[in-house]
Structure 1
Amino acid sequence: MASTLPTNPSLDKLRVEARHLQRANGIALHAAQFAVARRYGFTGWPALVHYLRLAADLSVDPGAVDEDALDPADRFCSWASLRYDEADAPPRWRAAADLLAADPGLVDRSIWCAAAASDSTALADHLARRPALANTGGGPFGWVPLMYLCYSRIPLGRSANDVLTAATLLLDAGADPNGGYLWCGMSTPFTLLTGVFGEGEQGPRRQPRHPHATELATLLLHRGAHPVDQQTLYNRMFRPDDSHLELLFAYGLADAGPSPWERRLGEAMETREQLWQRQIHWAAEHGFGDRLDLIARHGIDVSGADLVVPGFPDDPNVRDDEGATPLHQAAWAGDLPLIRRLLEAGADTSIADGRFGSTPLQWAEHAFQTEAADLLRETIR
């Protein structure tokens, strides 16, 4: 199965929901609890309660942190990290870099700051004094240091060797390569690999890959990170690049046994069949033929997938179900050649979509697709 619980689920709220259902339908409480559990993808009430108790210890809501109330060290870590909400954006990471430049001693006072900055010298000093810090949660999100390293996007110009040296120090000190957390209590874990591979619904500029994603992911996999990382596969499915899949397949993605997270969370997590069906469906619907071929080469059944071949729209101003035009989508993706073709075909830059009331230029600006935004501004002028 796969949990369909809302964000930040609460056992108390679900108990109230069961009581309401009991009273509304005149049924026994156990029957109402069973119905509620089934509604959210669990086999029964005990399984739901078990998951919620686990989630209470594993859940983090990064967006709930009051950054104004944080001390400088925790504020640095918060600004430095991908939070996987609408706040993710380059100006936050630049602000973190500026904060560190103004107070370089942050990395010496906090191992979590040292990890976010991939500062191997400071990390070595912290670990020499207290080796147990490698597995100690702290900072604004209660993460272990390696989480901050993997989710950090500070523009400090660190080389791949700098990052790998810092990560290796933590791994050698006992950091768990399968570490992670439950984002807002949701049942798909956000692991170290999730942070390294990056991307997601906010797009590649707001939620970019780690600058040294391939090297850092390879280190984690070599040190024991499990290749079946559901959130990574989801976050990276939106664009045609398959480098993440190629690396994960090389480390056993196709036929690996249960991951530590699958064993821990059990039925709350999606099955492997559900995982692959979502990947196959998205690839087929968006014309990612190379991805379907890659998946099939590793023994996963893609039969029945009907590949949609992308075509240029007959009407450049046609709207989708949410009122967005092809120009909106091209602006969000930063697809400059397609933007130019659409403009030449008569695409209207003034059309606002139906969901956000925003023009293609505003979509490009929100996605931090600066080149696309510049092109659209030139057209508007």
Structure 2
Amino acid sequence: MPTRNLPDDPNLDHLRKQAKRLLTAVQAGDPAATALAAEFHPVSTLADAQLVVARSYGFPSWPRIVHHLEQIGRYTRSPHRQQIGGPLDTPEQRADEFLKLATLHYGQDDPARQHAARELLSDVAQSNIYTMVVAGELDAVRRNLSQAREEGGPYRWEPLLYLTYSRLGAPNQVEIARLLLENGADPNAGYLWQGMPSPFTALTGVFGRGEGDQPPHQDRVELARLLLAAGADPNDSQTMYNCGPGCPPPYDDVHLELLLEFGLGRGDGGPWHERLTTAHPTPQQLLEDELVFASSAGLLHRVELVLAQEIDVEGRGTEHPAFCGHRAYEFAAVQGHTEIAELLRARGAAPLDDIHEVYAAAWRGESASVDAALAARAVARNPHLILQAAETGRTEALEPLQRLGFDVNLISGAAPIHRAALNGHLETVQRLVQLGADPDLRDPSYDGDALGWAEHNHQNAVAAYLKELRLRGLRLGTGRR
């Protein structure tokens, strides 16, 4: 098993330098380097050090990790880094601008972009195969089907990807997709967003959602069924993330029902798993991740859908950081999802241990009397539990968790007050402030405070409270901005 993950957008030169530094450190007797060599392979040459680096990232050999990085380089795209609003002097520039405005790129996907795209539509609709599919120009597409699999446009995508990531609301999308597939388009077409090893496929584009809660394609069901029937692999890791732990509620199960119908959890994982090997989850891991997520979120129907497959209820899937290695039953029992917990126990899930009993008491709002050692172990096992409480509006759990030693100002991507504000949990935000949470604390990714997070998601009641809090602070001279 890998001890660490490759960074996003990994670089071969960086890994070569790691190996050289490791060799030097081992020769100098550095304890950490010698321990790494003892775990993976004795080091006396640069080739040995390269093998250790590869194995430490979960690859069996240096050639295998080199091949992996070659695949990353081949499929990496960064559409979110494409500039909008550049010169529009030539037809090519106007066509590219249209495509950038009309499609999701998983950066700042402002809906206003689609309005701007429509202003360019009449000028660029038939510029090339990519604008044709996005604009819904059925007859024009028919005349250009020899280009059905050509990569191009601003993102170097196949036409099918521009169609499935388009949010223009154009007509003829299903029929155009069918024509593309019948003329050689790849149903497993996709790209690696900024080098991350979870492919953004055509299916991913159809279902949308994700951390920015991007909208699905208007024809998501018909397009998804068409892609799956044409051979798209249902073990689609990014779709599972974007429609699961990677997006805010509310949830529906349309994507899961379709993927299960076409074989999610079975097979070899398809072409993307073959390309990315150990960096890409297996079909079974995807199902286990879904069970853990659904149990944590209290999604009974999803749990039932997954349990209908052959699955180990104790499985921890990819052990995604969001789940801190917990089992599905631990989440269900701790968070009071009783019906789910009973289902999992009936399938053989092991009972809670002493730390999870402490969590369960806190989640019920009980300040359990525990010794300092047990409390410290509870915090160390899952310091993010207070983030989960804030995100789900479990106001009653906040003070018991703080008494155990959980930090109300913990930042892991965001702070508890940011998560509560984003989801509109006014009472939770108020209780966090009472417990010492700093409403002016800024997150490292977007440099936003709690008010910014509330306003971003149009949580007006929370925003009004935070504005009043800021005004009171200014009146009292506390220095709040």
**TM-score w.r.t. structure 2 length?**
0.67
2:192 match: secondary structure: strand
Structure 2 CA distance for partners of 1:263 and 1:324, relative to 1, 3 Å: closer
Inter-partner Cα distance in structure 2 for 1:249 and 1:115: 29
Task: Please tell me whether the aligned partners of residues 292 and 302 of structure 1 are also in contact (alpha carbons under 8 angstroms).
Answer: no
Answer 1 or 2: higher relative contact order, Cα 8 Å, separation at least 6. 1
- Which of 146, 151, 157 lines up with 2:165 in the alignment? 151
Amino acid at match of 1:90: P
Please state if 1:73 is matched with 2:90.
Answer: no
Q: Which residue of 1 aligns with 2:292?
A: 281
Aligned-pair distance for 1:245? 0.7
Aligned-pair distance for 1:45? 0.6
- Which of 260, 280, 290 lines up with 1:269 in the alignment? 280
Task: Please tell me whether the aligned partners of residues 107 and 122 of structure 1 are also in contact (alpha carbons under 8 angstroms).
Answer: no
Please state if 1:305 is matched with 2:328.
Answer: yes
Q: Which residue of 1 aligns with 2:253?
A: 242
Q: Which residue of 2 aligns with 1:22?
A: 23
Q: Which residue of 1 aligns with 2:106?
A: 84
Task: Please tell me whether the aligned partners of residues 60 and 182 of structure 1 are also in contact (alpha carbons under 8 angstroms).
Answer: yes
Please state if 1:362 is matched with 2:383.
Answer: no
Task: Please tell me whether the aligned partners of residues 187 and 269 of structure 1 are also in contact (alpha carbons under 8 angstroms).
Answer: yes
Q: Which residue of 2 aligns with 1:173?
A: 183
Structure 2 CA distance for partners of 1:21 and 1:113, relative to 1, 3 Å: same
For residues 131-157 of structure 1, give each alpha carbon's deviation from its aligned partner in whole angstroms, at most 9, with x where no partner exists.
Answer: 321000000111011100111123x4x
Amino acid at match of 2:328: A
Inter-partner Cα distance in structure 1 for 2:284 and 2:97: 40
Q: Which residue of 1 aligns with 2:220?
A: 213
- Between the two proteins, what is the percent identity of the paired residues? 37
For residues 154-186 of structure 1, give each alpha carbon's deviation from its aligned partner in whole angstroms, at most 9, with x where no partner exists.
Answer: 3x4x35xx2212212212222111111122222
Amino acid at match of 2:104: L
Please state if 1:123 is matched with 2:141.
Answer: yes
1:182 match: secondary structure: strand
2:395 match: secondary structure: coil
Inter-partner Cα distance in structure 2 for 1:265 and 1:278: 19
Q: Which residue of 2 aligns with 1:11?
A: 12
Q: Which residue of 2 aligns with 1:191?
A: 201
Amino acid at match of 1:362: G
For residues 78-113 of structure 1, give each alpha carbon's deviation from its aligned partner in whole angstroms, at most 9, with x where no partner exists.
Answer: 22222223x22223333222332xxx1312111111
- Which of 61, 67, 76 lines up with 1:59 in the alignment? 76
Inter-partner Cα distance in structure 2 for 1:197 and 1:52: 28
Q: Which residue of 1 aligns with 2:439?
A: 351
Structure 2 CA distance for partners of 1:148 and 1:311, relative to 1, 3 Å: closer
Amino acid at match of 1:105: D
Tell me how large the CA RMSD over aligned residues is: 3.0
Aligned-pair distance for 1:230? 1.0
Aligned-pair distance for 1:286? 3.0
Task: Please tell me whether the aligned partners of residues 234 and 260 of structure 2 are also in contact (alpha carbons under 8 angstroms).
Answer: yes
Inter-partner Cα distance in structure 2 for 1:51 and 1:346: 45
For residues 20-50 of structure 1, give each alpha carbon's deviation from its aligned partner in whole angstroms, at most 9, with x where no partner exists.
Answer: 2222222410121112112322112110011
Show structure 2 runs of 5+ residues with no match: 28-43, 315-326, 337-391, 403-407, 469-481
Task: Please tell me whether the aligned partners of residues 421 and 453 of structure 2 are also in contact (alpha carbons under 8 angstroms).
Answer: yes
Amino acid at match of 2:151: G
Task: Please tell me whether the aligned partners of residues 165 and 202 of structure 2 are also in contact (alpha carbons under 8 angstroms).
Answer: yes
Inter-partner Cα distance in structure 2 for 1:105 and 1:229: 36
Task: Please tell me whether the aligned partners of residues 227 and 256 of structure 1 are also in contact (alpha carbons under 8 angstroms).
Answer: no
2:191 match: secondary structure: strand
- Which of 114, 129, 132 lines up with 2:146 in the alignment? 132
Please state if 1:222 is matched with 2:229.
Answer: yes
Please state if 1:95 is matched with 2:116.
Answer: yes
Task: Please tell me whether the aligned partners of residues 7 and 184 of structure 1 are also in contact (alpha carbons under 8 angstroms).
Answer: yes
Structure 2 CA distance for partners of 1:93 and 1:332, relative to 1, 3 Å: farther
Please state if 1:41 is matched with 2:42.
Answer: no
For residues 251-271 of structure 1, give each alpha carbon's deviation from its aligned partner in whole angstroms, at most 9, with x where no partner exists.
Answer: 111323431222333333223
Q: Which residue of 2 aligns with 1:321?
A: 410
For residues 324-376 of structure 1, give each alpha carbon's deviation from its aligned partner in whole angstroms, at most 9, with x where no partner exists.
Answer: 346x435424x5xx54x65898978982345256444411333xx33x2x444
Which deviates further from its counterpart, 23-32 or 285-294?
285-294
Show structure 1 runs of 5+ residues with no match: none
Inter-partner Cα distance in structure 1 for 2:438 and 2:196: 38
Inter-partner Cα distance in structure 1 for 2:149 and 2:235: 23
Structure 2 CA distance for partners of 1:188 and 1:377, relative to 1, 3 Å: closer
Structure 2 CA distance for partners of 1:53 and 1:32, relative to 1, 3 Å: same
**Larger Rg: 1 or 2?**
2
Inter-partner Cα distance in structure 2 for 1:208 and 1:114: 22
Inter-partner Cα distance in structure 1 for 2:309 and 2:136: 35
1:314 match: secondary structure: helix
Aligned-pair distance for 1:320? 6.0
